[in-house]
Amino acid sequence: MAAPTSAERKACWEARDQLWQCLDDNNDKIQSCQKFQRDFEAKCPAQWVKYFTKRRDFLKYKEKMQTEGFKPAEGPRVNS
């Protein structure tokens, strides 16, 4: 697979940014952003789609940890 050209990369990043903005505006409801999702998948290589999707999940998790802090899971307590 040949590397995307500068114009193809720019189109991919713009599609990604539009999708992410739509998701932010719609409380991460993908159903509301299907048009942007299809555009993103059409303009970006599949591996990039996978990477950017994981990247968004990580950034959202990181933001949550920074604002809410870490809260350990409440599991069974084991006396030692």
Q: What is the pLDDT of residue 80?
A: 59
* Domain count of the fold of the chain: 1
Structural domain containing residue 26: 8-57
Q: At residue 22, does pLDDT exceed 70?
A: yes
pLDDT-based confidence at residue 41 (cuts at 50, 70, 90): very high
pTM: 0.79
Answer whether residue 42 is part of any domain: yes
Residue 29 covered by a domain: yes
Q: Is the pLDDT of residue 77 over 90?
A: no
Report d(CA 20, CA 5) in Å as an integer.
Answer: 22
